[in-house]
Each structure stands twice: as C-alpha cells, then as structure tokens.
Structure 1
Amino acid sequence: MSVPAPGPRPGDPRPEQDRPVAALRAEVDAAVAALDALDDRPVSEHPAAFERVHAALGRALSAGSERE
C-alpha cells in the first residue's frame, strides 16, 4: 500500500523549489532521525515512517533539480 506524498505544510506557502536548502535538509534530517526510534515502535508504524523519509527526499531532490 502506498501513501501519497503530502503537499506543502500549512504556514509554508512557498513552493518547494523556493524553500532554502537548509530547510529542506533539516526536513530530510528530521525524517531520517525518526527512523532511529523504529526499534521501539510497532512494526505496523514502520511503513509510514519510511514513506515520510521517501517523501522528504523526493521534495528535496525535486527542489534541487528545479534550481539548476
């Protein structure tokens, strides 16, 4: 089962390509850091955590390609 990638967060009206690289990096770092807690979480919650990382990486990569 696939979870759709979320759009821009409320309060952040800028398109992804207009967000500073530092903000995108922080989002990716936070999503990846959350994987460290998966050992303590039920397996049923793991796919959602991986989807969040995948979505954050996709947004960061997409924004990077838009800047070139």
Structure 2
Amino acid sequence: MTSQDPAAAIDDAVARTDDLADVPLAEHVGRFDAVHVALNDALSRVDRIDAD
C-alpha cells in the first residue's frame, strides 16, 4: 500500500466513513472494504508507531 505512518493511515481509513450518510447505500460495501484493507495494512505495521 503506502509508506504512510501506520497511525496516520488508521486515522485516514476511519475518516473515510465520516460521510457515509451522504453516500448511496450501494457504495457502502465498497467503502467499508477499502477501509478494511487500509486498516489491515496499517495494523500489520503497528510496530512502527512511535510510542511518544
């Protein structure tokens, strides 16, 4: 996927659900699938998150 920081990638993925009320119902599955893929990718790299 991307070399984006995993924490930022998680935030971005979750933000993709913010406007679901305005998205046609037929597009929800695709949106959730994309979020699922992004979260899996980010969580697979969670050990790279700085523990500041």
Structure 1: where are the runs of 5+ without partners?
A: 1-7, 10-18
CA distance, structure 2, for counterparts of residue 59 and residue 44 of structure 1: 25
In structure 1, the partner of 2:23 is: 41
TM-score when normalising by structure 1: 0.55
Structure 2: where are the runs of 5+ without partners?
A: none
TM-score when normalising by structure 2: 0.68
CA RMSD, 1 decimal: 2.1
Aligned length: 48
- Answer 1 or 2: higher relative contact order, Cα 8 Å, separation at least 6: 2
Larger Rg: 1
SS of aligned partner of 1:36: coil
Identity %: 42
